[in-house]
Structure 1
Amino acid sequence: MAFQCQRDCYMQEFTTSVVSCSEAELQLENNGKKNKIKGYNVKLKDTILFPEGGGQPDDRGTIGGVPVLRVSRQVAEAVHFVTSPLEEGQEVQLKVDWERRFDHMQQHSGQHLVTALADTMFGYKTTSWELGRQRSSIELDTPAVKPGEMEALEAAVNQKIRDHVPVTVQLLSIDDPAVEKVRSRGLPDDHAGPIRIIDIEGVDANMCCGTHVSNLSHLQAIKILGTEKGKKNKTNLIFLAGNRVLKYAERSYSTEKSLVALLKTGPEEHVEAVDKLQKTVKRLQKSNLTLLRDMAVLIAQNFKSNPERSNIFSLHNKDGDNEFMNIIANEIGFENTIIFLTVGEEKGAGMFLLAGPTPIIDGLSKQVLELLQGKGAGKNGRLQGKAGSLAKRAEVEALIREHCSQARSG
């Protein structure tokens, strides 16, 4: 069976009735965290909300004003997940999130067009594709493309768009001889009903369950951003279609204006200006490292030359690194001195070094790591590693002094 969304991809509202409503759970991912939501699986007599399939994500919308969070396919039926129950037999009004749907239609039809012409022009077969949130990719069965081919392909697909080529849908029985003549990567195992063919007039006929534009002119434009090395000697072609091209141009222009203000140069000079900045930064970083090393030596020498120096040396330096700490520890020596050094944000994450007589360091290590939320390793009187937080640095210093005081009194 073809859903109403497949019979008329441009329909944005539709009235139908509820066939069934059962309790269910849905696992949603938000910022990398997976959460289970309790709700209801609703089956309708028909639907304009497309269930995921053919490389196209599912639609969003509402049923009787209730938001639909997922639409999935179960054999020949569409299952809508909602958080409020609906009564069986109830007549309901469906509304589709048109901005999302039309974007998917543009990307999906754009993929068919790019795939067809990549094959016709260069013999590159499509093995898979992905409709991403910001950009889409087509996996081509070739380890590499030749210079100029993507530019030629982009020109060809946009000419087809300017030619206002019609896109039609055919429904064929599975035993129809015409099925053998259309492009396909095979039918899903749970396929039922007629075969749906998307026909771009004079360009391509392809089996597909997805939603598509009715004319290539509705794609507006296609921009091929480039290619990337894919898996198993494949090449990924990255593209945008329709409104995504406009949004990409808007974002690029906004970025360009910001760079003009920051770099005080015109767009054509941005690359050169950034290159100069990077080289300057590298020189400054190199000079800074040299100064840090010299400073570490001077800090250690200053401590050693103090006749009234303590047997504990503690220092925090925001801009230091592991080498900075190691120079100080090695210059001072820790056979008779306990050295506690930290670098990084004063109350944030950072690095630490604790060195001194082995028995003392062994006795302090566990508590120091706990206070610094740290992970470290060491031997022969040296413990070094990363600190999750330096907020309790003063407590570590107090712990060291207390431990030394108890050792002397003992």
Structure 2
Amino acid sequence: MVFKCQENSFLKEFTTKVLSCEEVKQNIIIINGKKEKVEGYEVILEDTIIFPEGGGQPCDHGYLNEIPVKHVVRKQDTALHYVNQSFNIGDSVKQTVDWQRRFDHMQQHSGQHLITAIIDREFKFPTLSWWLGEEVSYVELVKVYTKDTPEEQLKEARSARGLPVDHKGDIRVIIIEDVESNMCCGTHVQNLSQLQVIKLLRAEKNKNKTLLYFLVGNRVINRLDTCIDREQKLTVLLKKEAEPDFMNMFIKELGITSIFLFLSTGDENSIGNIVLYGEEKAVSDLGDKVCKLLEGKGAGKGNRFQAKVSKMINRKIAELCIGDYFK
């Protein structure tokens, strides 16, 4: 059976009828390749737009009326929906799909088909399997066919994109014009332009196989946003200019006035801040002189003089002035 979600992957809502609803207790199903226990009700509908897990693609999330669908799996030509509330046979239910998750999975799955086809055509590396992860996906590549490649591995690669053992009904073929045509049960975009962008992240060797990690579409954009945000935050943390608060903290931590300090922030082409700190007489004698050399405005009290200055390019001259004072 070809489900409604496969006929039209862009359908977000769909009304159908309940064919079966049975209570389940600790039923064992396969979720993302692992056995898990589920409880609640197992619902079979006339048709579904909520994709059941298969072909390396996780199931969709969505609702039957207002009730969340916990998981969907395929069993032969039917889709089993697991929910926490029962329905009566013959009930009309409105299905709503989690569109953000659906479109993300469509981008990743169609992107995987394109990556697989190009790598196979250009480098002769067949895809053995693939995995659609929550953040990153990968294709598992057979490194190369040689006379030393085990026969079982060759058979596995040749049948990797074949039909499930329990398949019944129509066969669905996904075609990328002039690139590939393959049997597939997953949901896909209508045009390659909807992929937006593909980013190959890294390749990891694993015995005779290679895992190629990738991102497609909005995942690339979101990753770029994260990287830019992190870069901006690091720039703020690592920028070379020290703040006046840093100078004040430095003086406080030093805690002595027997050493004369001339501290400044800013480079030659910017407005800066200065602090003179030391014995009261030296600070009083030098404060206004240094401030004038650097074309600033400031004031002093006791053993500290601080100012905001506009000509940091004269810092060396100010240092010579201070040096001459202590000769």
State TM-score, norm by structure 1.
0.52
Matches within 5 A, 1:316-395: none
Alignment deviations for residues 298-328 of structure 1 (CA, whole Å, 9 cap, x no partner):
xxxxxxxxxxxxxxxxxxxxxxxxxxxxxxx
1:192 aligns with 2:193: no
Q: Distance in 2 between matches of 1:202 and 1:2?
A: 25
Greater RCO, 1 or 2 (C-alpha within 8 Å, sep 6+): 2
Matches within 5 A, 1:188-227: 188-227=164-203
Aligned to 2:60: 59
Aligned to 2:221: 246
| CA shift in 2, pair 1:120/1:253, >3 Å | same
Matches within 5 A, 1:306-325: none
Alignment deviations for residues 347-398 of structure 1 (CA, whole Å, 9 cap, x no partner):
xxxxxxxxxxxxxxxxxxxxxxxxxxxxxxxxxxxxxxxxxxxxxxxxxxxx
- Say if 1:221 and 1:245, in contact at 8 Å, map to a contact too: yes
- Say if 1:183 and 1:205, in contact at 8 Å, map to a contact too: no
SS in 1 for 2:163: coil
1:262 aligns with 2:237: yes
Q: Comparing both structures, which one devotes a greater share of its residues to strand? A: 2
Displacement of 1:80 after TM fit? 0.2
Aligned to 2:129: 128
- Say if 2:127 and 2:160, in contact at 8 Å, map to a contact too: no
Alignment deviations for residues 130-163 of structure 1 (CA, whole Å, 9 cap, x no partner):
00000100111117xxxxxxxxxxxxxxxxxxxx
SS in 2 for 1:251: helix
Q: Distance in 2 between matches of 1:60 and 1:87?
A: 22
Q: Distance in 1 between matches of 2:43 and 2:36?
A: 20
| CA shift in 2, pair 1:22/1:107, >3 Å | same
Alignment deviations for residues 265-305 of structure 1 (CA, whole Å, 9 cap, x no partner):
6xxxxxxxxxxxxxxxxxxxxxxxxxxxxxxxxxxxxxxxx
Matches within 5 A, 1:21-36: 21-25=21-25
Aligned to 1:20: 20
Q: Distance in 2 between matches of 1:237 and 1:19?
A: 42
Alignment deviations for residues 82-103 of structure 1 (CA, whole Å, 9 cap, x no partner):
0011111000100000000110
Displacement of 1:183 after TM fit? 8.8
Q: Distance in 1 between matches of 2:37 and 2:211?
A: 34
Displacement of 1:186 after TM fit? 2.1
What is the letter of the counterpart of residue 13 of structure 1? E
Q: Distance in 1 between matches of 2:76 and 2:121?
A: 34
Alignment deviations for residues 148-183 of structure 1 (CA, whole Å, 9 cap, x no partner):
xxxxxxxxxxxxxxxxxxxxxxxxxxxxxxxxxx99
Aligned to 2:282: none
Q: Distance in 1 between matches of 2:36 and 2:177?
A: 45
- Say if 2:41 and 2:84, in contact at 8 Å, map to a contact too: yes
Displacement of 1:235 after TM fit? 1.0
What is the letter of the counterpart of residue 247 of structure 1? N
Displacement of 1:226 after TM fit? 1.7
What is the letter of the counterpart of residue 259 of structure 1? L
- Say if 2:128 and 2:160, in contact at 8 Å, map to a contact too: no
- RMSD over aligned CA atoms reads 2.2
Q: Distance in 2 between matches of 1:35 and 1:140?
A: 28
Q: Structure 1: state its 5+ residue gaps.
A: 29-33, 144-181, 266-410
Displacement of 1:24 after TM fit? 1.1
- Say if 2:161 and 2:182, in contact at 8 Å, map to a contact too: no
What is the letter of the counterpart of residue 113 of structure 2? H
SS in 1 for 2:70: strand
Q: Comparing both structures, which one devotes a greater share of its residues to helix? A: 1
Alignment deviations for residues 60-97 of structure 1 (CA, whole Å, 9 cap, x no partner):
10001110000011111000000011111000100000
Q: Distance in 1 between matches of 2:28 and 2:214?
A: 30
| CA shift in 2, pair 1:37/1:123, >3 Å | closer
What is the letter of the counterpart of residue 120 of structure 2? D
- Say if 1:184 and 1:207, in contact at 8 Å, map to a contact too: no
What is the letter of the counterpart of residue 102 of structure 1? F
Alignment deviations for residues 191-230 of structure 1 (CA, whole Å, 9 cap, x no partner):
1112111000111101100000010001011011121112
For these two proteins, the number of residue pairs brought into alignment is: 222
| CA shift in 2, pair 1:88/1:54, >3 Å | same
Matches within 5 A, 1:72-83: 72-83=73-84
- Identity within the alignment, %: 52
Q: Distance in 2 between matches of 1:127 and 1:184?
A: 5
Alignment deviations for residues 323-343 of structure 1 (CA, whole Å, 9 cap, x no partner):
xxxxxxxxxxxxxxxxxxxxx
- Say if 2:129 and 2:160, in contact at 8 Å, map to a contact too: no
